[in-house]
Chain A
């Protein structure tokens, strides 16, 4: 069976529009990066230090009452309901709410303040500020090492132009997804970082497949100018790229639907990553090569 038959889409022609869209995405991503750096983004408790307590009520609780009770106990809670409203996540971020025993404080306060609301504590995560800082540094190192690793691999694998374009595409994908996650206001945890790095590694696959074909075709199998060769190459690889992305998309989608609260944000980031990665291998990575080559060649011709 073939869903995508022989196509002849002019990807290069669409590049200006793609640049505009990607520019916006990257810009938002950069803004998100700055905000994360400054500590203004919704960083997870595992990075900032703090406490999360997951409670399961017999009946969906009255959030107002829960909040009042916890505030009266001197806490500053963020509340988030999960799955049908029976599960409640209490998040505390202040430094003095990061120590051991904060989970117990939440439990005791609610037991005393909500005698009619029966609940069980399902999980507690208390992270001291020092541990949080260390994990943040570890995450930064993981980002640095994987990006350097990937870039080194790209540069070893490709000639200069392709290497630069693939690097730009990789950063584009990571920044775009980070930007969307940030705009949606989702918590950025180590799991989010994991998703971002995984998609950095994965989204490259599509790009590499298309590049390999461009180089193969440039070696003389095809006639025509650079734009035609690049377009032909992407079109030849269209079914392949769509299919490899689709399989991963289906796997990640099932994680998103059935994987539960903890994995949902993770799956969402990957889902976005697969989509953006596929888009960028068609509309960003290859047009950049075109742009670069035509400009440099044009200049060379001009000198002559």
Chain B
């Protein structure tokens, strides 16, 4: 027997066995240590969202909160202010009534966690978020957004969601097999910042609506948006205090339930201890005034405080359907996003479309394989059948490798697979044609086979290398589905090198090693 032949046969047998073993679960056989093939969202149906965290908004509201803290600190120290305004995304400017207070104020402001004094003179103090800290804050905001969205998705109940970050402000959310895409988008995209703010009924609302400059400095103008059954939208303006009494961060629970007074749904909530205390104090002090419940800067309702609410329980009533109430309760439980997110891309594929794609892909693969198999068998006879067998092994191994590598099979990936069917037999075509040529030159079968493989090898490598170069570029720069193409095509042709060199060669060598062939069916 030829040296190394036995080794190659064993290697081929083992690799084929492993590949077949890996493939069994995909065809419905339950076995240990092997998974089904992973299908891309384009084949199994699902939703692929790209979200962008609005980091500017995040820093703005962070600076606003710090500025509010600064006012509190200065008030306690007895320093009076002419104004305190945010001048940029993460910059602010304080104007003191007396420049004599400057030193005292500067000292007191060291208490602030993230704003530091950056300049100014006389009555003016300039504040800013330190550069290093801003980056840290941004990173945290993105991390938090991922956490909250994961919370929401988990509570919504999606099997195997996949949430990752990309770059410094993007999130990729993949939800396989989702049935209500629109609802999922609402749940994920909503900031869900719940705030309780006192209405300012003493200020002149009409003037403020007409001229933004007339809005009192401590107030902001918000709208109560109502939609009737015919889709007409009415917007009622309301002036509220900028500083919230308490926010949704203080909630420990929220749940949807039917309203007892009128048809419709409401959301009941429960504050944590600190939240309950603050809320109790504020409602005690402000009985008879209106309290606005605000969700993402839109007034949900603004009821009059009838009596102090000290047990930390409350409810949000609006025109909610059961689903809306349930979703609101869900996002409140999961917590608000640290900043608004924008959906910059949304690819949703229905399950039926995915199934169609799989069916079409399988059909195309079968037809492609069949045509190639017949052509090879007819043209190269016995040797062609051998190449066909190698082709089948090639396909099985490629799929097996996909599973072993946990790679994802996408629709373009199927195209790559079909293409690799056509390219894989090319290796054998090059070898067979060379063998034919050598036979015509009068060489013995054994010598012709030897020369055929040896001389065709260079051209085979050429074809493989150039295809791998483009596949690598496509893998590196392509989107998800295109990566799938690059993966199946490269796996297909790399494995082809193996099956062609060990596979068909082994059979030829085996046959010539037993006896001297005088004729080769090729």
Residues of A within 8 A of B (CB): 1, 3, 46, 54, 56, 99-101, 103-104, 120-128, 130-131, 135, 138-139, 141-143, 145-146, 149-150, 153, 157, 190-191, 194, 197-198, 200-202, 204-205, 208-209, 212, 236, 239-240, 243-244, 246-255, 257-260, 262-263, 266-267, 270
Pull 6 A–B residue pairs with CB atoms less than 8 Å apart, ordered by A. A123-B349, A190-B478, A197-B474, A198-B471, A249-B422, A254-B367
**B305 within 8 Å of A by Cβ?**
no
Q: A142-B477, A191-B412 are in contact. Are A205 and B485 (CB under 8 A)?
A: no
**B65 within 8 Å of A by Cβ?**
no
Are the CB atoms of A205 and B466 closer together than 8 Å?
yes
**B375 within 8 Å of A by Cβ?**
yes
**B306 within 8 Å of A by Cβ?**
no
Are the CB atoms of A247 and B364 closer together than 8 Å?
no
Closest Cβ of chain A to B40, distance in Å, is: 12
Are the CB atoms of A205 and B478 closer together than 8 Å?
no
Taking CB atoms, residues of chain A closer than 8 Å to B418 are: 251-252, 254-255, 259
Taking CB atoms, residues of chain A closer than 8 Å to B381 are: 1
Are the CB atoms of A198 and B419 closer together than 8 Å?
yes
Are the CB atoms of A255 and B364 closer together than 8 Å?
yes
Taking CB atoms, residues of chain B closer than 8 Å to A258 are: 360, 363-364, 367
Q: A247-B375, A262-B357 are in contact. Are A194 and B412 (CB under 8 A)?
A: yes
Are the CB atoms of B50 and A131 closer together than 8 Å?
yes
- Among the listed stretches B266-274, B294-302, B426-434, which one makes contact with chain A, having 4 or more residues with CB under 8 Å of it? B426-434
Taking CB atoms, residues of chain B closer than 8 Å to A247 are: 372, 375-376, 422-423, 425-426, 429
Closest Cβ of chain A to B138, distance in Å, is: 18
- Tell me the complex Cα distance, A121–B368, Å: 31
- Among the listed stretches B108-116, B140-148, B457-465, which one makes contact with chain A, having 4 or more residues with CB under 8 Å of it? B457-465
Taking CB atoms, residues of chain B closer than 8 Å to A125 are: 346-348
Are the CB atoms of A157 and B462 closer together than 8 Å?
yes
Q: A201-B466, A252-B419 are in contact. Are A145 and B353 (CB under 8 A)?
A: no
- Among the listed stretches B79-87, B126-134, B181-189, B213-221, which one makes contact with chain A, having 4 or more residues with CB under 8 Å of it? B181-189
Partner of B458, one of A46, A56, A212: A212
- Tell me the complex Cα distance, A200–B470, Å: 8
Q: A124-B347, A247-B375 are in contact. Are A209 and B459 (CB under 8 A)?
A: yes
Are the CB atoms of A142 and B476 closer together than 8 Å?
yes
Are the CB atoms of B375 and A246 closer together than 8 Å?
yes
Are the CB atoms of A251 and B368 closer together than 8 Å?
yes
The 5 A-B residue pairs with the shortest CB-CB distance, nearest first, are A251-B422, A100-B343, A248-B422, A128-B344, A260-B360
- Tell me the complex Cα distance, A251–B430, Å: 18
Closest Cβ of chain B to A82, distance in Å, is: 11
Please report which residues of chain B, range 379-405, place their CB below 8 angstroms from some CB of chain A when the two chains form the complex: 379-381
Taking CB atoms, residues of chain A closer than 8 Å to B459 are: 205, 208-209, 212
Q: A127-B345, A260-B356 are in contact. Are A191 and B482 (CB under 8 A)?
A: yes
- Tell me the complex Cα distance, A254–B466, Å: 24
Taking CB atoms, residues of chain B closer than 8 Å to A101 are: 185, 343
Which chain B residue has the least Cβ–Cβ distance from A270? B419
- Tell me the complex Cα distance, A110–B171, Å: 31
Partner of B482, one of A99, A145, A194, A239: A194
Which chain A residue has the least Cβ–Cβ distance from B469? A149
**B161 within 8 Å of A by Cβ?**
no
Q: A103-B348, A121-B350 are in contact. Are A197 and B419 (CB under 8 A)?
A: no
Are the CB atoms of B426 and A244 closer together than 8 Å?
yes
**B411 within 8 Å of A by Cβ?**
yes
Are the CB atoms of B357 and A260 closer together than 8 Å?
yes
Q: Mark B353-370, 1 if CB is under 8 A from A, else 0.
A: 100110011011101100
- Tell me the complex Cα distance, A267–B314, Å: 61
Taking CB atoms, residues of chain A closer than 8 Å to B489 are: 198
Are the CB atoms of A259 and B415 closer together than 8 Å?
yes
Taking CB atoms, residues of chain B closer than 8 Å to A266 are: 412, 415
Are the CB atoms of B364 and A259 closer together than 8 Å?
yes
Closest Cβ of chain A to B427, distance in Å, is: 9
Are the CB atoms of A145 and B476 closer together than 8 Å?
yes
Taking CB atoms, residues of chain B closer than 8 Å to A131 are: 50, 344-345
Are the CB atoms of A205 and B463 closer together than 8 Å?
yes
Q: A198-B489, A250-B372 are in contact. Are A255 and B415 (CB under 8 A)?
A: yes
Are the CB atoms of B433 and A1 closer together than 8 Å?
no
Which chain B residue has the least Cβ–Cβ distance from A239? B433
**B473 within 8 Å of A by Cβ?**
yes
- Tell me the complex Cα distance, A35–B416, Å: 29
Q: Mark B162-193, 1 if CB is under 8 A from A, else 0.
A: 00000000000000000001100100010000
Known: A126-B345, A260-B356, A260-B357. 19 other contacts (CB 8 A): A100-B185, A103-B346, A120-B350, A121-B350, A122-B349, A124-B346, A131-B345, A146-B472, A146-B473, A190-B479, A194-B478, A201-B471, A204-B463, A248-B419, A248-B423, A250-B422, A251-B372, A251-B421, A254-B368
Are the CB atoms of B346 and A126 closer together than 8 Å?
yes
Closest Cβ of chain B to A122, distance in Å, is: 4
- Tell me the complex Cα distance, A257–B421, Å: 16
Q: A142-B473, A247-B372 are in contact. Are A204 and B343 (CB under 8 A)?
A: no
Partner of A141, one of B348, B380, B477: B477
Partner of A250, one of B360, B371, B472: B371
Taking CB atoms, residues of chain B closer than 8 Å to A100 are: 185, 189, 342-344, 346
Closest Cβ of chain A to B248, distance in Å, is: 23
Which residue among B189, B376, B479 has the maximum number of chain A CB atoms within 10 Å of its CB?
B479
- Tell me the complex Cα distance, A130–B342, Å: 12
Which residue among A121, A124, A150, A260 has the maximum number of chain B CB atoms within 10 Å of its CB?
A260
Please report which residues of chain B, range 257-273, place their CB below 8 angstroms from some CB of chain A when the two chains form the complex: none
Partner of B367, one of A202, A257, A260: A257
Closest Cβ of chain B to A259, distance in Å, is: 4
**B204 within 8 Å of A by Cβ?**
no
Taking CB atoms, residues of chain B closer than 8 Å to A157 are: 462
**B321 within 8 Å of A by Cβ?**
no
- Tell me the complex Cα distance, A252–B280, Å: 72
